[in-house]
Amino acid sequence: MLAHLHIKNYALIEDLSVGFAEGFSVITGETGAGKSILLGALGFVLGDRADTGVLFDKDKKCVVEAQFQLQDELLKPLFEQCDLDFEHHCIFRRELSPQKKSRAFINDTPVNLQTLKEIGSQLVDIHSQHDSLLLTDTGFQLHLLDEIAQNHDLLAEYRSGFNKYNNIQRQLNELRETASKNIAENDYLKFQLDELQKAQLKEGEYAEAEQSLNLMENAEEIKSLLFNANGLLEHADTAILPQLNELSSMLHRLQQLVPNTEDLQQRLDDIQVELKDIAYDLDRLGGDAQFDEDKLQELQERFDLLNRLMMKHHVKDYDALIQLRNDLEAKVDAFENIDQEIEKAEKALKEQTSLLQQLAKKLHAQRTKAAKTFGENVTGLARQLAMPHAVFQVAVEPCPAFNANGLDQVRFLFSANKGVAVDELSKVASGGELSRLMLSIKSVVSQHNYIPTLIFDEIDTGVSGEVAAKIGSILQQMGGDLQLIAITHLPQVASKAQHHLFIYKDNEGQRSQSHIKVLSNADRITEIAKMLSNDKVTPEALKAAEVLLKN
């Protein structure tokens, strides 16, 4: 339940704190005193759109804080889903700066407005003067019936299945579209793939072919270079190795004549070994450098084919050509298997359709069962509110296709006159009748849902006398099941409340300000007397107020 509300720098409110109790409370006050402002501030802290026009002082920030006492743990999963700690003492706070920056907190943890609104909607139901028009909305009608039928879990299961059904249907449509539109494209892809597969592309082949081709095209020059190089080492008249042999003999003799020259001989020996190895390798390479015209032609044709394929498919290198072939294989393979994919999706859709039909059937059964009791209960309450011949019925009718709520559509039917057949509520109910019906419906629904606080903003507009007293009795009864707060101008309603708050405007300072106070029993008598006698407190009015409060 809502335990406390603190408002700072909002509209006509500079700084206001008010506590709320369990049961039925009323808020009264003159028109324009700030009752709607109070509800506006509560809506603001529960996630309504922020407007810097509400700042009392344009240079200061607005802060609204609402404290709730959560008696049970039904909302704990929702808090955990939003990654918030669940506490029985829960504080909502919202701030609005002069720079139009809004911040929101739940138990001092920053949250976005969606989270604030989602959790707030499970704590407080604010019914404004214009919400009775929702009764003519078919979606709202179905929502109310599901509240009565306690379809929360079943409806959540159905909607999860419905989302899966839509996903499978979308996948199947895409597969069918691909199958019908891409036949020509697949033929072209197969043609491209066939050409690349016939080329028998191999990893690293292009670089090897390029190297081999370069060797063969320059085989004669390579062989000549190798022969001449080898000649310089071994076979020419001035060959290096024979001269080194002569030099070695000289150093050997020198070693016998000059001390400490042994290292010269060793160094020369090392050079001779290395040069002999080089001569051997040059001779071997010369033997391998053979020119084969047939092999050269074969290599040239292969190399030209690879280059033509890269140019044709607009790829930058041979690796990209290999990747293109692999991609084409995957695409063609996927298309070749699309019939199997379609068959698989059709089977999944059939199974999901069967599951949805079972869940929709359960929803229909529970709605049909609840509709009868719902209609009878609302009719009974409506007849107490100056509509003695009222008949309210709920028609549950089939839909042609699955939707987010099952296979049902709901129509609220109503007749206010004896002997007149019921018809759609939107066609036959007046504004006053809609308000009284909404009160009757909310009274019935409040016994079935778990939203702990319900607020009515002048639900009794347009009625008086005995009807007003009946409305007060209904609200009083509802206050036994939940925390009920009603803004009213009717003394008959105000007298039925357990708690009475009075909101008033102070015009003494530089600007008007709204204030609120909890009335004592004596103050209540005076306030109700004013309501009875148009602000003139007469002895008769005071006595009548006492009678109303006693009753």
Q: Which tens digits make up the pLDDT trace of 421-452?
A: 999 998 998 888 888 898 999 899 888 877 89
Residue bearing the bigger pLDDT, 123 or 190:
123
Residue 98 lies in a domain: yes
Q: Are 408 and 398 in contact (CB under 8 A)?
A: yes
* Rounded Cα distance, 70 and 452, in Å: 8
* Rounded Cα distance, 468 and 464, in Å: 5
So what's the pLDDT on residue 291? 56
Q: Which of 121-125, 184-188, 361-365, 434-438 has the lowest mean pLDDT?
A: 184-188
Residues 116 and 202 in one domain: no
Range of the domain at 266: 185-336
Q: Which of 185-199, 346-360, 422-436 has the lowest mean pLDDT?
A: 185-199
Question: Exposure string (b/e) for 30-42, b if CB count within 10 Å is 16 or more?
Answer: eeebbbbbbbbbb
So what's the pLDDT on residue 535? 76
Average pLDDT over residues 168-191: 79
Residue 346 lies in a domain: no
Residue bearing the bigger pLDDT, 278 or 531:
531
Domain count, the chain: 2
379: pLDDT strictly greater than 70: yes
CATH code where residue 111 lies: 3.40.50.300
So what's the pLDDT on residue 358? 97
Domain end: 298, 321, 336, which one?
A: 336
Mean pLDDT of all residues belonging to the chain = 87
Residue bearing the bigger pLDDT, 53 or 96:
96
Type of residue found at 386: A
Residue 211 lies in a domain: yes
Residues 109 and 209 in one domain: no
So what's the pLDDT on residue 116? 94
Name, of 77-91, 261-275, 331-345, 445-459, the range with top average pLDDT.
77-91
CB proximity list for 210: less than 8 A, separation 6 or greater: 303
Residues 117 and 251 in one domain: no
Burial class, 409, CB count within 10 angstroms (exposed 0-12 / middle 13-18 / buried 19+): middle
- Please choose, from the candidates 82, 90, 87, 50, the residue with its C-alpha nearest in 3D space to the C-alpha of residue 66: 90
- Please choose, from the candidates 398, 378, 396, the residue with its C-alpha nearest in 3D space to the C-alpha of residue 387: 378
Residue bearing the bigger pLDDT, 481 or 164:
164
Residues 312 and 204 in one domain: yes
Q: Beta 13-19 vs 2-10: how paired, if at all?
A: antiparallel
DSSP state of 107: T
Domain end: 336, 368, 388, which one?
A: 336
Residue 191 lies in a domain: yes
Residue 286 lies in a domain: yes
Residue 325 in tokens = 């072939």
Residues 201 and 308 in one domain: yes
Residues 117 and 191 in one domain: no
Taken in order 282, 288, 294, 298, is the CA torsion positive or negative? negative
So what's the pLDDT on residue 217? 67
Residues 190 and 328 in one domain: yes
520: pLDDT strictly greater than 80: yes
pLDDT band at residue 295 under the 50/70/90 scheme: confident
So what's the pLDDT on residue 173? 92
Q: Which of 150-159, 233-242, 397-406 has the lowest mean pLDDT?
A: 233-242
Domain end: 308, 336, 364, which one?
A: 336
Q: What percent of the chain shows pLDDT beyond 90?
A: 46
CB proximity list for 179: less than 8 A, separation 6 or greater: 338, 339, 342
